[in-house]
Structure 1
Amino acid sequence: MKTTLRIQSDRFLINDALVYSELPHVPSAYHGLLLNARMIQGIFDDAQAPERFCRYGKNFDAVQNTEELIAALPQWYQYGLRAVTVGFQGGGPCFTIDNETIDNNPYSPDGTVISPAYLERMEKIIRAADALGMVVIVSLFYGSQTRFLQDDKAVMQAVKTAANWLRDQGFTNIILEIANEHDIVCYQRHPILYTEKGIVTLIEIAQRESGGIPVGCSGTGGYFDFDIANASDVILIHGNDQSRQQFYNLIQKAKAVVPQKPIICNEDSQAISRLAVAMREGISWGYYNNMTKQEPPVYWEITKGEDEFFCMRMAELLGIQRPKLPLKEQFYLQGLEAQMVYEGKRWIRLASLYPEKIDYVEFYREGQLVGRAYDDPFMLNSIGSNWLQKPFPEKLFPGESWSAKVYLTDGTVVETNTVLSEKTQE
């Protein structure tokens, strides 16, 4: 292995050097952080009906999906990304297909076996990340997919099986996440995953069976438990549905753990205003775009708009030199791309490079006001969350004009426009 991750107090070292210390213009306060992105569907498959994921202008193939993520990693690395979260049980296509209808589970019912095909794809990603100097946060369990494990004993066995495999491959560039948001209701079928006491037990199993791989476990946005944090090697938190002040308060809870441990937010949203909060407070932040990066088949490259703006902000904070964008190019009307339509539905929002500078956004269809958004990320038909929204309720047609008026806090108004492509795919 080329990349070895090590922990020193609340900081990360790669090959015995604080992360980012090799870059010439990174402020020393950011040395040892591990900026990351949720690429949870990196080894995704569906044993039930994979053909339904042939959409968004692409055919779905599990191996191709993994290879495309691997091909995109160097793009993300050059902007400063140093870790990705990939799940053995993936994540939910939040907007389109019920996860309860998907079979993306690699574990046998008793937890003793992991599908060789899933292991092969996971190994490819870990080794590709290793070659670049990147870390993979390997997540073991995801919500409703745990329904395929027969009981708590099977869950414990699956942790042991996965930890033993990770150990036996000799991987030195990984962090192990027991479960993604263990406190959500669908984990109730397995008390060992749903309860704090159970998670502590699973963390201890993973630590023992992995041979020293750092272990943690996340909860929902704003959730924090001191027993889990004390048992963890890495404190994993989520920023979903948190205001910037609430996110700050959550970070302070995690920083109160003694002795100090590194804190990683490995899921928040595309609300990149939280990136600056995290870095100012000395913790690592995780970009999460549940449309461009969690709806298979995924476009793993840095797509225009939210992905691009996150990368530019990350590079800016790290002192990585990038061309400055003119004001008008700092905004992008997201969700109207030709391929991003499902069953006639579109999820429309305003991507921005500096969302902190926006007061509110107005959305117009054919010159008619259809809604306003006041919170980052600026989503049309937000349902009170920074990561979830309803689709636009009406079918759109090629040739339609859409625009967003962006009202900045300094009084400036910027308008961005787009016309639906004639190549719109249903």
Structure 2
Amino acid sequence: MPMHRFTTYQRWFNPILLFVACLAAGCTSASRRTSVTGTKADNHPTEIAIAGDEFYLNDRPTYENRTWQGYKIQGLLMNARMVQGVFDDHNPETRQRWKYPDTGTWDPERNTNEFIAAMPAWRQKGLLNFTINLQGGSPEGYSKEQPWENNAFEPDGALKPAYLNRLKRILDKADELGMTVIVGLYYFGQDERLQDEAAVVRGADNATDWLLNQGYRHVMVEINNECNHNTYNHAILWPERVPELIDRVKQKTRQGRRLLVSTSFTGGALPTDAVIQSSDFVLLHGNGVSDPEKIAELVRRVRQRPVYSPKPILYNEDDHFNFDQPQNNCRAAISEYCSWGYFDPGKNNYQDGYQSMPVDWRINTPLKTAFFNYVAEITGTR
């Protein structure tokens, strides 16, 4: 029995009606995607889909037929946390912390330009996905207080055009390269910039509508980064209620399609039953989990939950490396057929890492090189 297919937007259609419509339009060999949407596929060449616990790109499983050291790689989505691609800081008291060493000023457009320039090299190494966030992540890597204001939303939930312009450029480049993107909406330490719960809901609606209206097929949504973090202000972003937003995003459609949606928890935390059940894919984090066996165990525990049905599981944040060692967190995840995501926090020196600002987005350090070479080895792209 064939597995049920979910695309970046879920499709619902009657095959007989589709065939009749296709004949009426005079088409004979158009792809199912083109026929359903009435849009040429090359307008948005990259499409992410899910079949069971596998990811698909353009109707074929990712890393098709690939195995590595006896582990199945086909259907996985090797990824990295690159959440600061649209970063800016609207707080004049903190903005200069992120200044570039050569100019002495912070420049959000330069940041996005350099992000886009680095993307082809990531793709050439086999990276198929990265996570970006409309409220970014800590520009210091890890922070207790977050006085900066990196926020694509107005207080009432409206979207800021400058952020959308930068995001569109990144998503367009990913589409061109055959990469997929997890777009995060909210981040702890910044969600309080929205004035109330209605604004949070409105912001999620606005972001979803914008992504759908662009016609992107390669984008998924992470409602918020680590929903169980105790600094979130708005209760609808907490574990007990975030399924409301997951379901809300899933219910929005364009031409019979919808976005694939999930949310994440802090490192080592098991998602709640309600989140596992409502999510299209299960997100895990590995921060604070230094034992690779615990990384593997967390994946097993997700699959053992009665509410779990076959769907992809992927880490999209883990700050443990050891890629030259026989056991590491990435390998442990793969051993349980789970995708893995690299989080390199950096040092605010425009050299190390992919989060502490300003970021050099190139593969320019031994650690970055080790990760990307490991991805290339795992995926067979070298």
**TM beyond 0.5:** yes
State the distance in 2 between where 1:56 and 1:223 align.
Answer: 38
State the distance in 1 between where 2:67 and 2:235 align.
Answer: 48
Number of the residue aligned with 2:163: 118
* Mapped contact 1:88–1:138 kept (Cα < 8 A): yes
Structure 1 alignment gaps of length 5 or more: 322-426
Number of the residue aligned with 1:346: none
Number of the residue aligned with 1:357: none
For residue 318 of structure 1, report the CA deviation from its aligned partner: 2.0
1:25-45 per-residue CA deviation (whole Å, 9 max, x = no partner) reads: 897811110000000000000
Structure number with larger C-alpha Rg: 1
* Mapped contact 1:26–1:318 kept (Cα < 8 A): no
For residue 209 of structure 1, report the CA deviation from its aligned partner: 2.2
Which of 229, 236, 240 is residue 287 of structure 2 equivalent to? Answer: 240
* Mapped contact 1:12–1:32 kept (Cα < 8 A): yes
* RMSD of Structure 2 on Structure 1 (CA): 2.0
For residue 97 of structure 1, report the CA deviation from its aligned partner: 7.2
State the distance in 2 between where 1:298 and 1:159 align.
Answer: 27
For residue 56 of structure 1, report the CA deviation from its aligned partner: 4.7
Number of the residue aligned with 1:275: 330
Report the 3-state secondary structure (helix = DSSP H, G, I; strand = E; otherwise coil) of the residue aligned with 2:146: helix
Which of 222, 227, 231 is residue 274 of structure 2 equivalent to? Answer: 227
Number of the residue aligned with 2:149: 103
Number of the residue aligned with 2:312: 262
* Mapped contact 2:67–2:74 kept (Cα < 8 A): no
State the distance in 1 between where 2:143 and 2:288 align.
Answer: 22
* Mapped contact 1:27–1:318 kept (Cα < 8 A): no
Number of the residue aligned with 1:287: 342
Q: TM-score, normalised by structure 1?
A: 0.71
State the distance in 2 between where 1:258 and 1:219 align.
Answer: 16
Does residue 209 (structure 1) correspond to residue 252 (structure 2)? The answer is yes
Q: How does 1:37-186 map to 2 (within 5 A)?
A: 37-49=80-92, 50-57=95-102, 59-94=105-140, 100-111=146-157, 113-186=158-231
For residue 101 of structure 1, report the CA deviation from its aligned partner: 1.3
Higher mean C-alpha displacement, 229-238 vs 95-104: 95-104
State the distance in 1 between where 2:223 and 2:100 align.
Answer: 31
Q: Which amino acid aligns with 2:296?
A: Y
Report the 3-state secondary structure (helix = DSSP H, G, I; strand = E; otherwise coil) of the residue aligned with 1:240: coil
* Mapped contact 1:92–1:99 kept (Cα < 8 A): no
Report the 3-state secondary structure (helix = DSSP H, G, I; strand = E; otherwise coil) of the residue aligned with 2:268: coil
State the distance in 2 between where 1:306 and 1:91 align.
Answer: 20
Q: Which amino acid aligns with 1:217?
A: T
For residue 57 of structure 1, report the CA deviation from its aligned partner: 4.7
For residue 186 of structure 1, report the CA deviation from its aligned partner: 1.0
Does residue 193 (structure 1) correspond to residue 237 (structure 2)? The answer is yes
Q: Which amino acid aligns with 1:87?
A: N
Number of the residue aligned with 2:373: 312
State the distance in 1 between where 2:85 and 2:62 align.
Answer: 24
Q: Tell me which protein shows more strand as a share of its residues.
A: 1
For residue 100 of structure 1, report the CA deviation from its aligned partner: 2.1
Question: Equivalent pairs: percent with the same residue?
Answer: 36
Report the 3-state secondary structure (helix = DSSP H, G, I; strand = E; otherwise coil) of the residue aligned with 1:185: coil
Higher mean C-alpha displacement, 91-100 vs 131-140: 91-100
1:283-304 per-residue CA deviation (whole Å, 9 max, x = no partner) reads: 1100000111111110001122
Report the 3-state secondary structure (helix = DSSP H, G, I; strand = E; otherwise coil) of the residue aligned with 2:242: helix
CA gap of 1:26–1:82, structure 2 versus 1, over 3 A, is farther
Q: TM-score, normalised by structure 2?
A: 0.79
Higher mean C-alpha displacement, 74-83 vs 52-61: 52-61
* Mapped contact 2:65–2:74 kept (Cα < 8 A): no
Q: Which amino acid aligns with 1:238?
A: H
* Mapped contact 1:183–1:220 kept (Cα < 8 A): yes
For residue 47 of structure 1, report the CA deviation from its aligned partner: 0.7
Report the 3-state secondary structure (helix = DSSP H, G, I; strand = E; otherwise coil) of the residue aligned with 1:44: coil
Report the 3-state secondary structure (helix = DSSP H, G, I; strand = E; otherwise coil) of the residue aligned with 2:246: helix
Q: Which amino acid aligns with 1:234?
A: F
Higher mean C-alpha displacement, 140-149 vs 101-110: 101-110
State the distance in 2 between where 1:265 and 1:24 align.
Answer: 19
1:335-383 per-residue CA deviation (whole Å, 9 max, x = no partner) reads: xxxxxxxxxxxxxxxxxxxxxxxxxxxxxxxxxxxxxxxxxxxxxxxxx
State the distance in 1 between where 2:195 and 2:370 align.
Answer: 43
* Mapped contact 2:141–2:355 kept (Cα < 8 A): no
State the distance in 1 between where 2:189 and 2:308 align.
Answer: 34
Q: Relative CO higher for 1 or 2, CA cutoff 8 Å, sep ≥ 6? A: 2
State the distance in 2 between where 1:268 and 1:95 align.
Answer: 12
Q: After the TM superposition, which parts of structure 1 deviate over 6 Å for at least 4 consecutive aligned residues?
A: 22-28
For residue 23 of structure 1, report the CA deviation from its aligned partner: 7.0
Report the 3-state secondary structure (helix = DSSP H, G, I; strand = E; otherwise coil) of the residue aligned with 2:189: helix
Q: Which amino acid aligns with 2:367?
A: E
Report the 3-state secondary structure (helix = DSSP H, G, I; strand = E; otherwise coil) of the residue aligned with 1:253: helix
Does residue 298 (structure 1) correspond to residue 359 (structure 2)? The answer is yes
1:105-145 per-residue CA deviation (whole Å, 9 max, x = no partner) reads: 1212121x100110111111111001010001000001111
